[in-house]
Amino acid sequence: MKSAPALLTGLTVLLLVPALPSEAASLNFDRLYVFGDSLSDPGNLFDLSAGTFPPPPYVDGRTSNGPVWVEYLADELGLSPARILAAQANPLSASQGINFAIAGANTDDTNSNDDNPLKPAGSPALPGVATELGAYQSFINAAGPSATEDALYIYWAGANDYLGGGQTNPQIPLTNISNALNDLYASGARNFLVANLPDLGNIPLGQAIAPDALSALTAAHNQGLTTVLNQFELAHRDIQVVPFDVATVFTQVQQNPGAFGFTQADVPCFTLAQLADNTISDPATLAACGETSLFWDDLHPTTKGHQIIAAQALLALEASQPQPPQAVPEAGGAIASFLALVGFVGRRRRDLKAA
Residue 72 in any domain: the answer is yes
Residue 234 in any domain: the answer is yes
Answer whether 244's CB lies under 8 Å from 4's CB: yes
Confidence at residue 142, expressed as pLDDT on a 0 to 100 scale = 83
Cα–Cα distance between 73 and 27 in angstroms, integer?
12
Residue among 149, 56, 39, 59 at smallest CA distance from 99: 39
Phi, psi torsion values for 303, nearest 5 degrees: -65, -30
Residue 1 in any domain: the answer is no
Residue 2 in any domain: the answer is no
Domain CATH code at residue 52 = 3.40.50.1110
Answer whether 274's CB lies under 8 Å from 280's CB: yes
Strand-pair category, 97-99 with 31-36? parallel
Burial class for 180, CB neighbours closer than 10 Å (0-12, 13-18, 19+): buried
Confidence at residue 253, expressed as pLDDT on a 0 to 100 scale = 98
pLDDT of the chain, 355 residues: tens digit per residue = 433 333 333 332 222 222 334 345 468 899 999 999 999 999 999 999 999 899 999 999 999 999 999 999 999 999 999 999 999 999 999 999 999 999 999 999 999 998 877 777 777 889 999 999 999 999 988 876 555 789 999 999 999 999 988 999 999 999 999 999 999 999 999 999 999 999 999 999 999 999 999 999 999 999 999 999 999 999 999 999 999 999 999 999 999 999 999 999 999 999 999 998 999 989 999 999 999 999 999 999 999 999 999 999 999 999 998 665 555 445 454 445 445 555 545 555 555 444 4
Residue among 225, 199, 197, 204 at smallest CA distance from 214: 199
Query: Does 173 sit behind a cis peptide bond, omega within 30 degrees of 0 on the bond before it?
Result: no
Cα–Cα distance between 32 and 322 in angstroms, integer?
22
Residue 355 in any domain: the answer is no
Containing structural domain, residue 262: 7-349
Cα–Cα distance between 83 and 29 in angstroms, integer?
18
Residue 129 in any domain: the answer is yes
Answer whether 11's CB lies under 8 Å from 315's CB: yes
Cα–Cα distance between 59 and 32 in angstroms, integer?
23
Confidence at residue 334, expressed as pLDDT on a 0 to 100 scale = 45
DSSP-H helix ranges across 120-196: 129-143, 159-163, 171-187
Domain count, the chain: 1
Confidence at residue 122, expressed as pLDDT on a 0 to 100 scale = 73
